[in-house]
Amino acid sequence: MAAKKLRRARLSEELCERLSRYQITTCEDFLCLSLLELMKVTGQSYYDVQKLLCKVSRACAPKMQTVYEMKLRKSVNPSSAFLSTTLHSLDKVLHGGVPCGSLTEITSPPGCGKTQFCIMLSVLATLPVSMGGLDGAVIYIDTESAFSAERLIEIAGSRFPTYFDSDEKLFCMTSSIHLYRELTCGTVLNRIMSLEEEIISKKVKLIIIDSVASVVRKEFDTKLQGNLAERSNFLARGASVLKYLAEEFSIPV
């Protein structure tokens, strides 16, 4: 929304021409300037500039919804609100399971079973909705190379022996889990940015990143000056993109 070109904000052609001479082409550039600067740049009077500001703001402001509308929308499809983890006590504490549409973070000391939990969630997500799954593909971004396909099949076979009785079903399940091995912060970020199209084309219903901390700690030594800011920058940017994806597609991350 921020990168929306001014031309599409319904400003007049000559105004856009004039603004692009000052390198102001997107709504972001326009709104970052103060009123006096805008007057100088557009050559218009104070009141006209205020009207322009309103126009541009309307082009990139978010839509209003009352909470009542949101509630009605949610109650229309209630089943897709959570991904049950099949651990009853955990589901009870989480009010149904891993929530769809928001980020969930799993932390623990090493060896407690985070990767195992992630593998199990991937199996659960590929199950049909009648069995409590999401009936969709899974994107698994692995930074520690800890994902083992054999373990995946073992879990699937022993947990749901009646469902995965044939090789064909196992094959189907494993081919809907897309694994990406990324080893640096840069590639992880690039991968996250490119996820939008993949989610739509592959009908992804779950995104797992295992793990965020390992790749960040490898690359950024917090004792060095300036690294703290860069690290937080990277994390915040990744987090905002992931939040957007989770909300937009209503999938758990």
In this complex, which beta carbon is closest to other proteins, that of residue 31 or of residue 149?
Answer: 31
Q: How many residues bind other proteins (CB under 8 A)?
A: 45
Q: Which of 12, 45, 190, 227 binds other proteins (CB under 8 A)?
A: 45
Question: Is 27 an interacting residue with respect to other proteins (CB under 8 A)?
Answer: yes
At residue 97, φ and ψ (nearest 5 deg) are 135, -165
Question: Are 43 and 18 within 8 A, CB to CB?
Answer: yes
Cα–Cα distance, 187 to 190 (Å, whole number): 5
Contact between 185 and other proteins (CB under 8 A)? no
83 close to 97: Cβ distance less than 8 angstroms? yes
Contact with other proteins (CB under 8 A) among 10, 17, 22, 31: 31
The DSSP output letter for 177 is E
Q: Give the range of 11-19, 84-92, 169-177, 236-244 binding other proteins by CB under 8 A.
A: 236-244
Q: Is residue 71 part of the contact set for other proteins (CB under 8 A)?
A: yes
Length of the chain (residues): 253
Please report the sign of the dihedral spanned by the C-alpha atoms of residue 114, residue 97, residue 122, residue 162: positive
* Complex with other proteins: residue 34 or 162, whichever CB lies closer: 34
Q: How far apart are CA 104 and CA 102, in angstroms?
A: 7
Judged by CB under 8 A, does residue 186 bind other proteins?
A: no
CA 111 to chain centre: 27
Stretch that binds other proteins, among 59-67, 107-115, 143-151, 183-191 (CB under 8 A): 59-67
Of the listed pieces 48-56, 121-129, 135-143, 179-187, which binds other proteins according to CB under 8 A?
48-56
Residue from 21, 23, 66, 89 that binds other proteins (CB under 8 A)? Answer: 66
Pick between residue 32 and residue 172 the one whose CB is nearest to other proteins: 32
* Residue type at 150 in one-letter notation: E
**Angle formed at CA 194 by CA 193 and CA 198, multiple of 5 degrees:** 135
Interacting positions 73-132 with other proteins (CB under 8 A): 74, 95, 102
Instruction: Count Cβ atoms within 10 A of the Cβ of residue 171 and give its class: 0-12 exposed, 13-18 middle, 19 or more buried.
Output: exposed
Cα 42 to its chain centre, rounded Å, is 38
Question: Which residue ranges make up the site for other proteins (CB under 8 A)?
Answer: 1-2, 27-28, 31-32, 34, 39-40, 43-48, 53-54, 56-71, 74, 95, 102, 232-233, 235-237, 240, 243-244, 247
